[in-house]
Amino acid sequence: MGKTNPLNDADMADFIARQASFTDGPNSWSVVADTLDPAAFDLTVRNPNAPEAETLRSPQEILDEIAALDAKSAQILARVRELL
């Protein structure tokens, strides 16, 4: 949500549906006021109930995948050249 992605009615549908019962969901949750830092009052949009982000692959794993894809591409190109 921001200047290039403004809030609209569809974004609020889940919130409005949960408002009456104050139930938490993937897009709406409650925060205990005592847990907020009074010096900062950080209200960053971070769902504390959301699962942890997926662990990133190591650079070596990425390089190994690139090498495997390059080898496969080389095989395909060799077959195409044989057809020419």
Question: Which pLDDT score is estimated for 2?
Answer: 64
pLDDT at site 65: 97
Question: Looking at residue 36, what is its pLDDT?
Answer: 78
pLDDT given for residue 83 in this prediction: 93
Task: Name every residue whose Cβ is closer than 8 Å to that of residue 49 and which is 6 or more positions away in sequence.
Answer: 24, 26, 29
Q: Which residues of the chain have pLDDT under 50?
A: none
CA distance 59 to 8: 39
CA nearest neighbour of 28 among 16, 39, 40: 16
- Quickly tell me which residue has 């974004």 as its tokens: 11
Q: What is the pLDDT of residue 74?
A: 97
pTM over 0.85, yes/no: no
45 Cβ partners below 8 Å, 6+ apart? Answer: 1
Domain definitions of the chain by residue range: 9-46+56-83
